[in-house]
Amino acid sequence: MEPTQQITTGTRLDPWIDAYAARTQGLTTSQVRALFAVASRPEVVSLAGGMPFVSALPLDALADTVARLIRDRGAVALQYGSGQGDVTLREQILDVMEPVGIRAHPDDIVITAGSQMALDLVVRVFCDPGDVVLVEAPTYITALSVFSSYQCEVVHVPMDDQGMRPEALREAIASVKASGKRAKLVYTIPSFHNPAGVTQGPARRAEVLEVVRSSGLLMLEDDPYGLLGFDDSVPRAIRADESEGVVYLGTFSKTIAAGLRVGWAVAPHGVREKLVLANETATLCPSNFAQLTISEYLATQPWFDQVKVFRDVYRERRDALLESLSSLMPAGTTWTVPGGGFYSWVTLPHGLDATAMLPRAVAAMVAYVPGTGFYADGQGRHNLRLSYCYPEPDRIREGVRRLAGVIKDELEIADIFGSPEAVAGREGPAAPEPNLA
């Protein structure tokens, strides 16, 4: 056999490797993806995924709603629709946004295939390669994928337990401008942050907004969890106080069902026109089938009562998580206390590395998302995200018990062989200040 043949044997060569666009360099498979395939086995307690607990929905009522829709308006529900989205649903979205304080016109809304698509389109419309997007440290993992796929540079802004720090944002923007780069967007998740689990109070929101206003940048406010506050109060959206400088992203994934893939953007007039054209280019139109299902559901079901059901479900699970963290975690472990949403952000003690620890956690039948995925710059080694949205409370407690055991084992090893920090010889940048539980 020829040597060249030996080299190629068993290697799956991609003949198109030289043909891909430069932007595909940002399209990489997550290192932990293979591990998550293992972690999806039922015996593993997954505190990793952010799946809403859709089993809490009234399935019989929803089934009747969809069946009636197809029988009575099938010719519309099964047809192409408007690139901007169904006008009746856009009117109903105004009601859905009333609790967060947003007043708008149906024309201001663009409906998309999930709010992920809206995020993708906003970046498509605004960002040339090399443009800078400022984001919280840490931030939503798949937002980073979008910024990367449009070849943006990401600058992380430190957080505290009130979210993004205004002074740090001001300095980061000044630093970007001084470097000659072009900043375009400030991407923020002010309510029940993914993954940090913190929420900006009203004063903090005003301060951050003022910094963004004075910088001339566009704010992209991502608000998937705004209605899921556990004390039944709803944080006022930043968009409620600034209509020209903010694009607001909303979704039905957490208040109705993620499987419908319906989200929306609220955008200033000129931006909205561009988003509609970009939406038509990307998908022709959002699904009438999914949109009209939601529209019927909103019109005929007590949708806000169902949001309260979800709040109760997630509050109970958040409590199970926090109680078991408090009673089981070794000293030095800290975590944020979420007032709503799906996540708590954990900082490991003594420089333990959450990515290195993950295989051992999965072997112990518990899964989480390591912190590094939520940063574009290598921060987060000592952090991990715990999701309490999907498992039942008893499973959450069992998962934390297993995780605490893994951390204790890691600490013992570090005691014997020296801390990984000492071995690695470097301290990671500061993670957001946790609320100590």
* Residues 247-266, interacting with a copy of itself (CB under 8 A): 253, 257-261
Q: How far is the CB of 431 from a copy of itself (least distance, A)?
A: 25
Q: Which stretch binds a copy of itself (CB under 8 A): 126-134, 164-172, 173-181, 425-433?
A: 126-134
261 contacts 114 by C-beta, under 8 angstroms: yes
Q: Which stretch binds a copy of itself (CB under 8 A): 139-147, 171-179, 354-362, 391-399?
A: 139-147
CA atoms within 13 A on the CB side of 72: 9
Under rule CB under 8 A, which residues in 380-399 are in contact with a copy of itself? none
Under rule CB under 8 A, which residues in 19-78 are in contact with a copy of itself? 19-24, 27-29, 51-52, 54-55, 57, 59-60, 62-64, 66-71, 74-78
In the bound state with a copy of itself, the residue whose beta carbon lies nearer, of 115 and 324, is: 115
Q: How far is the CB of 383 from a copy of itself (least distance, A)?
A: 23
89 contacts 291 by C-beta, under 8 angstroms: yes
Long-range contact set of residues 298-306: C-beta below 8 Å, sequence gap at least 24: 298/89, 298/92, 298/95, 298/96, 299/92, 300/65, 301/58, 301/61, 301/62, 301/65, 303/96, 303/255, 303/256, 306/56, 306/57, 306/58, 306/255, 306/256
Q: Which stretch binds a copy of itself (CB under 8 A): 112-120, 193-201, 321-329, 334-342?
A: 112-120
| Binding footprint of a copy of itself, residue count (CB under 8 A) | 82
Tokens of 180: 């000659």
398 contacts 45 by C-beta, under 8 angstroms: yes
Spatial neighbors of 194 by CB under 8 A, at least 6 apart, are: 50, 140, 224, 225, 341, 342, 343
First to last CA, the chain: 65
In the bound state with a copy of itself, the residue whose beta carbon lies nearer, of 78 and 356, is: 78
In the bound state with a copy of itself, the residue whose beta carbon lies nearer, of 71 and 426, is: 71
Q: Is 214 in the site for a copy of itself (CB under 8 A)?
A: no
Using CA atoms, how far apart are residues 259 and 268, in angstroms rounded to an integer? 28
Long-range contact set of residues 325-334: C-beta below 8 Å, sequence gap at least 24: 325/400, 325/437, 326/437, 328/400, 328/401, 328/404, 329/400, 329/404, 329/407, 330/404, 330/407, 330/408, 330/411, 333/407, 334/434, 334/436, 334/437
Among 44, 218, 228, 352, binds a copy of itself (CB under 8 A): 218
In the bound state with a copy of itself, the residue whose beta carbon lies nearer, of 299 and 430, is: 299
Q: Is 305 in the site for a copy of itself (CB under 8 A)?
A: no
Using CA atoms, how far apart are residues 329 and 331, in angstroms rounded to an integer? 7
Q: Is 180 in the site for a copy of itself (CB under 8 A)?
A: no
Among 7, 38, 203, 284, binds a copy of itself (CB under 8 A): 284
CA 218 distance to own-chain centroid: 19
In the bound state with a copy of itself, the residue whose beta carbon lies nearer, of 36 and 401, is: 36
Under rule CB under 8 A, which residues in 148-167 are in contact with a copy of itself? 149
Among 156, 165, 170, 184, binds a copy of itself (CB under 8 A): 184
Q: How far is the CB of 398 from a copy of itself (least distance, A)?
A: 21
In the bound state with a copy of itself, the residue whose beta carbon lies nearer, of 201 and 268, is: 268
Q: Which stretch binds a copy of itself (CB under 8 A): 111-119, 305-313, 324-332, 426-434?
A: 111-119
Q: Is 106 in the site for a copy of itself (CB under 8 A)?
A: no
Under rule CB under 8 A, which residues in 331-370 are in contact with a copy of itself? none
Tokens of 92: 């109903």
